[in-house]
Amino acid sequence: MTNVTGDFGRTPLTPAPRAAYVDRHVCGQRWTRFRDVTLTTVVFSVWAVFWICWLLAAAGAKRSVRTSRFGRPGLVVLVAVVLVRLFKPGTPAVSSPVLQGVGLILFALGLGLAVWARIYLGRNWGMPMTERAEPELVTSGPYRFVRHPIYSGILLALLGTALATNLYWLIVLVFLGAYFTYSATVEERLMTTSFPDGYASYKAHTKMLIPFVL
């Protein structure tokens, strides 16, 4: 029996190695998809639990004396999510383990910061641009570094979500970032009225959302 060689004297690739390569490639694709789906499920499940607990905790907040008609960010998020769905074809889902790892870290840090700030704020918490009865000026905990750490934490967690799951969530981040910046500006006008001396001093040595930057 003769050994059949190719044009350059090399033995052609036999079916067995080729089949093994295809199997490994398919298995790799399946594992990547399983990892991505599992990661997305975990991230958005945590988001769901976070918001449920967040809203339940609102029951112990102080009475509102003034609420802005723009005080609920749900509509902003809804519009942004609709835009994300419109861009569904060719969606840039993240499959890089490095980006996903960084995203998970930012996601956890963001939610942790928001919860930490909520604990320090206590019964003074309210929906965006809401004025509470008998407000208190909180400057301890995360409020030593930024004036609106809850907003900072949620935006950081949303950035982590985009890096861990799908980059189109950056669209939601931009919309919500603009809304939170506007909300923070309105709230600071209210706080300046309520604490004309203390808030001016506090504002002079802290940043709005990002320590040492913004």
21-33: average pLDDT = 59
- Domains, the chain, with CATH or none: 42-204 (1.20.120.1630)
Burial of 140 (0-12, 13-18, 19+ CB in 10 A): exposed
Residues 185-210 pLDDT 10s: 988 988 888 888 888 889 988 999 99
pLDDT band at residue 130, thresholds of 50, 70 and 90? confident
Q: Which range, of 14-18, 100-104, 110-114, averages the lowest pLDDT?
A: 14-18
21-32: average pLDDT = 58
| Length in residues, the chain | 214
Tokens 């939601």 belong to which residue?
172
pLDDT at 89 (0 to 100): 46
Q: How many Å is the Cα radius of gyration of the chain?
A: 25
| DSSP secondary structure code for residue 127 in this structure | S
